[in-house]
Each structure stands twice: as structure tokens, then as C-alpha cells.
Copies of this chain bind each other. A is one copy, B any other.
């Protein structure tokens, strides 16, 4: 079956996020009342798997192998839906 899975890779807590800082500063310049901003990257992927938990496990493996760098990144995986079905 084909699943739609979202993996989100974000900087580890406590890690300095220059890009987020720049975004926060620009938003403040525009007059918005924002505090800290942290940036993350999302990968929405079609994955072939037997069931949702396998799809999730696969996506986590993808994060470990490629999408995240363990020194600086955390990741979080969520199965969005199964092809053909929506929820």
C-alpha cells in the first residue's frame, strides 16, 4: 500500500537557529509581535509499506539515514493518510 508520510526535521532544542533568528528579526521589522522563531524542514513523501506502522518506521529510518543529521537535528514522523483513503 502507498502511504503519505510527513517527516519533519528541526534543529535540536538548544541549538542556535540563525535562519529562525533572521526570520524573527524581519517579522519584528514589519511590526509583528513575535518572540523566538524556529525553522524546520518538512518532507511529505509517498511511501510503499504494508501498514501504517511500517510506513512510519521506514520514514524514521529515512531520517536517520539521510534527512536528519543527528548532531544538530531532531525529527518527527507522522502518517498522513493511505492512498485512496483520506481522513
> Chain A interface (Cβ within 8 Å of chain B)?
2, 8, 10, 20, 23-24, 26-27, 30, 32-49, 58, 61-62, 65-67
Q: Which B residues touch A38, using CB under 8 A? A: 43-45
Residue in B42, B48, B67 whose CB lies within 8 Å of A10: B42
Q: Do the beta carbons of B37 and A44 come within 8 Å of each other? A: yes
Q: Is the CB of A32 within 8 A of B58?
A: yes
Q: Could you say which residues of chain B place their CB within 8 Å of the CB of A43?
A: 20, 23, 37-40
A35, B40: Cα distance in complex, Å:
22
Which chain B residues lie closer than 8 Å to A44 at the CB level? Answer: 10, 37-40
Nearest first, the 8 A-B pairs at minimum CB distance are: A35-B46, A33-B48, A40-B42, A37-B45, A38-B44, A36-B46, A34-B45, A34-B47
A-B contact pairs, 28 of them (CB 8 A): A8-B42, A23-B43, A24-B45, A27-B45, A27-B62, A27-B66, A30-B66, A32-B58, A33-B48, A33-B49, A33-B58, A34-B62, A35-B45, A35-B47, A36-B45, A36-B46, A37-B43, A37-B45, A38-B43, A38-B44, A38-B45, A39-B41, A39-B43, A39-B44, A40-B41, A40-B42, A40-B44, A41-B41
